[in-house]
Amino acid sequence: MKLIILFASMTGNTEEMADEVAEGVREAGIEPVVKNVMDASGHELGEYDGIILGAYTWGDGELPDEFLDFYEEMDGLELSGKKAAVFGSADSSYAQFGKAVDILKEKLEELGADVVAEGLKVELNPSDSDKAACRALGKKVAEALA
Ligand SMILES: Cc1cc2nc3c(=O)[nH]c(=O)nc-3n(C[C@H](O)[C@H](O)[C@H](O)COP(=O)(O)O)c2cc1C
């Protein structure tokens, strides 16, 4: 089983989350591919059984610029049968808290993926309990592939 974790992170919070998500995937016995979304193309997703996307929220509840090409490349993909989840750091002082997580989750569902965990939104830098939630998310997706 192959699982990929793709993330965008400007100040490192979402990247820290990605590291913990990866650890949770490993706990379930799968070695994930972990990449910055800028080094990935939407078409690659077809190669994987598990897809976990991480993005901070930008602008007024928008996807980060780094995610835009990838998001467009996802159009038309057929992701049925794949297990997926989404996470991201955000800031509750903004009206659209963690909206990028919702945008990516909707996209995955629209393309037929089975999103097996609630979108995980973390306030700024992940706390110890947030990190545990990240590991649990990774583990949940990996275990759904068994
Ligand atoms: C210009 C700007 C716009 C932002 N807009 C939002 C927003 O609409 N909603 C939100 O939840 N967070 C927003 N944020 C907060 C970031 O998502 C937050 O700082 C996050 O921790 C960054 O994650 P990173 O360290 O992975 O880059 C914004 C931050 C900046 C600088």
Amino acid at 82: K
DSSP string spanning 26-95?
HHTT---EEEEGGG--GGGGGG-SEEEEEE--BTTTB--HHHHHHHHHTTT---TT-EEEEEEEE-TTSS
Residue 146 pLDDT: 82
- Across the range 11-25, mean pLDDT stands at 98
Question: What is the rounded (10 degree) CA torsion for 137, 91, 126, 2?
Answer: 30
| Cα–Cα distance, 92 to 83 (Å, whole number) | 28
Instruction: Say which residues have a Cβ less than 8 Å from residue 125's Cβ, sequence separation at least 6.
Output: 13, 16, 89
Q: In this predicted structure, what is the pLDDT of residue 126?
A: 98
Ligand 1 and 71: CB distance under 6 A: no
Query: Is the pLDDT score of 90 beyond 90?
Result: yes
Per-residue pLDDT, 48:
98
- The finding on whether 123 has its CB within 6 A of some atom of ligand 1 is no
Q: Which CATH number fits domain 3-144: 1.10.1140.10, 3.40.50.360, 3.20.20.70, 3.90.700.10?
A: 3.40.50.360
* HEC readout, 89-112: EECCCCCCCCHHHHHHHHHHHHCC
Taking the centre of ligand 1 as the mean of its atom positions, its distance from the CA of residue 67, in whole angstroms, is: 14
Distance CA 27, CA 45 (A): 22
The residue count of the chain comes to: 146
Residue 54 has pLDDT above 90, yes or no: yes
For the chain, what are the domain ranges? 3-144
Q: Tell me, what's the pLDDT at 145?
A: 97
State in Å: Cα 54 to ligand 1 middle.
13
Q: For residue range 92-105, list pLDDT tens digits in order.
A: 999 999 999 999 99
Mean pLDDT of the chain: 98
ipTM score assigned to the predicted complex? 0.99
Summarised one tens digit per residue, pLDDT across range 94-143 is 999 999 999 999 999 999 999 999 999 999 999 999 999 999 999 999 99
Quote the pLDDT of residue 112: 98
What separation in Å is there between the alpha carbon of 61 and the centre of ligand 1? 9
